[in-house]
Structures are given as structure tokens and as C-alpha cells.
Amino acid sequence: METEIYWKAIENNDARFNGAFVYAVGSTGIYCKPSCSSRLPKRENVSFFENFEAAESEGFRACRRCRPRNETVDPQLAAVLRACEMLESEEAATLDELSAELGLSAAHLQRKFKEITGVSPKKFAEAKRLDRFKSELRRGRDVTTAMYDAGFNSVSRLYENVSRKLGMTPRTYAKKGENMMIDYTVAECELGRLLVARTAKGVCAVAFGDDTDALVRNLENEFENAAIRRDDAALKEFVEAVLANLAGRDRTLDLPLDLRATAFQMRVWDELRRIPYGETVSYSDVAERLGSKSAVRAVATACAANRVALVIPCHRVVGKNGAPTGYRWGVERKRALLEKEKRV
């Protein structure tokens, strides 16, 4: 969450940022777009949301003056904000990697980045790394751990420390599954079709859909450089475990995982795995548990990036009023899952 950049945008009524985020004012219950000409709220009353739906799901109402719904974001601004996120989480992201990922030339990206943030991508990354380091130390980490966690040493070492629990190997995935073998199967379940896919290390996808072809296409797009084949027998055990969980016969679903993730996503997913069966928490609860109250939007984004339905139970994260907001596999399925878990 680029809160400093966002706050500056609000101070300047900067219309370039309309569509990139909305801000809500706790003391009034109203949310606005960045260019709104209403009086500048106190910084401590402001929270930021990726879009108006997220603000409304937390109970905020749209401002009558600036009409903040349905703004479209300038794609170049979106690219710069995405670059900010990548620089915060992917310690090794270079300008070339960013420009390849975002489809902008390095020179153009560099210029746009500086125009919007006021600093170069390199300076930005350095500042973020230092921030992380300081906050790790404040949380009582020893210096060595804090350094690794902040990305000062090798990325592999960092992930080794943080991610053992989830079995994640982020760098293997950097090239969209290059040199990976993936087996998958599709089964019927009470929520439609269920796709489960695995690598040699663990499950890499659990997805629901209405249509087998579309599910397989998604998998192929996500891992476009991997060798993918259907193997029902190889997935039998995993599918049975998922179905047992879905039916409420088995409340824990502890499968080996092989997932790509940033360090922040891993922390969020790890937290989600602690939410007991049948219970729900809000996005801001999760942010608070991670020790950063203002990370609500980043938490929602991490939930949306989950590739393994049920195994990482992102369906147990709901809006502040308890409403089942956004779900990668359809909000109706989320509602059905939550109702089922409450009944069983």
C-alpha cells in the first residue's frame, strides 16, 4: 500500500490518481476519490482502499460531491503503482524485470515512476527495504532475522526462513512454470467442477468453475511454460481430501503446497490458515493480526491472489459487516462454503 504517495495525491487533489484508489474518512463514514475538493481530513482518520467496492464492504458511503464510484484508472499510473508493489515485495526486481513485467520500456517506466513518486525505482526500493528493516526490529526481531526478512540478503535465504511452513519456492515460478511438470485432474463437486493440480513438490492449484475447459485453460495460462498433463490417478488422494473437507467430514485440509508468493502474501496466507473452520474474520482483522492496520487493501489483494481454494481458506475473510465480498471462484460459492461450514 503506497500510503505516502496516496496521501500526497489527496493533499494535491491529484486527479491522475482517480480510479487508482479511494480514501475513506473514519470520522464521517464517507469515502472520496483523490481529486475530491472537500476539506482535507486529518491523516489519522483516513484509510485507503483499492476500489470503491472495498470501501463499501467496510461500510463507507460514497461522497455526494465527488461521486467516487466507477472511475477508471490511467494504465500508466497503474503500472507505476504495480511497480511500487513489486519493489516492496520482490527484493531482486530490477528495472528491466519491472519493465518486462509491466510492458513498458525501461526508460519510459523510469520517467513515469519518478514523475509519480518523486524518486527513481532504485531509490524507492532502497527506502522500502530500510523501512522493512526498521519495522522488523521494532517488532523485536534480532538483527540477522530482520535483515533477511527485509531483503538485505539473498532472496532464497529469506524465503527459507519465512516460508518453510507453506513449502513455497517463489523463484521456481518466476518464469511461469519453466522446467516444471504439472499434473491435474478435474472432478465433480457440490460447487461445480473442481480442478486440483500438483507439481512434484505439492499442490499448486485448487480451483472451482462451471466448465472444465475454462479451468484447464486458466491453469495453462498461469503456467504457460510448464509441461501440463491430466493424470487422475496421481491426484486421487488430494481430490479425496478436498472433497472430504468440502463435505465437512474433515475440517483440516493440510496438503503439501508448492506456491509462488511474495513474502507479504505468505504472511497473509499463513494467517488465513489459522482461521478455524466455521469462523470468519474481516480484512482489517487480518491486517491487524499482521501488525499493520493500514494494510487492508494489501490483505484483500493477497486473498485474491490465492490459488488454492479451501487449503488456504481465503473464503473465511469477509467484509466488516460480515458480508462475503469478492472471491476468486465466485461470491456465490463463497457464500455456500460459509453457510455449509456454519451448519456442519
User: Would you tell me which residues interact with Zn ion (CB under 5 A)?
Assistant: 32, 36, 38, 63, 65-66
Spot the catalytic one: 32, 36, 63, 66.
32
* Residue 19 Cβ vs Zn ion, minimum distance, rounded to whole Å: 14
Which of the 8 DSSP states describes residue 204? E
CB of 68 to Zn ion, least distance (A): 6
Q: Is 66 an active-site residue?
A: no
**Amino acid residing at 268:** V
In a 13 Å sphere around the CA of 272, the CA atoms on its Cβ side amount to: 29
**Residue number, 39 or 249, with CB nearest to Zn ion:** 39
Q: Residue 320 CB, nearest distance to Zn ion (Å)? A: 21
Least distance (Å) between residue 101 CB and Zn ion = 33
Catalytic: 32?
Answer: yes
Q: Environment class of residue 138 by beta-carbon count within 10 Å: exposed (0-12), middle (13-18) or buried (19+)? A: exposed
Question: Would strands 192-198 and 203-209 be described as parallel, antiparallel, or unpaired?
Answer: antiparallel
Cβ 185 vs Cβ 167: under 8 Å: no
CA dihedral for 129, 95, 115, 19, sign (positive or negative): negative
Q: Which of 63, 66, 204, 314 is catalytic?
A: 314
CB 284 within 8 A of CB 298: no
Q: 66 or 253: whose CB is closer to Zn ion?
A: 66
Q: Which of 202, 325, 195, 209 lies closest to 261 in space, CA to CA?
A: 202
Which lies closer to Zn ion via its Cβ, residue 38 or residue 294?
38
Chain-centroid distance, C-alpha 216: 22
Q: What Å distances lie between residue 80 and 10, 21, 87, 111, CA to CA?
A: 17, 13, 10, 10
Q: Which is nearer to Zn ion, 12 or 105 (CB)?
A: 12
Within 11-111, strands assigned E span 22-25, 30-32, 46-49, 61-62
The DSSP bridge partners found for residue 188 are 193
Q: Which residue, 25 or 79, is less far from Zn ion as judged by CB?
A: 25
What minimum distance in Å lies between the beta carbon of 49 and Zn ion? Answer: 14
Catalytic annotation, residues: 32, 314
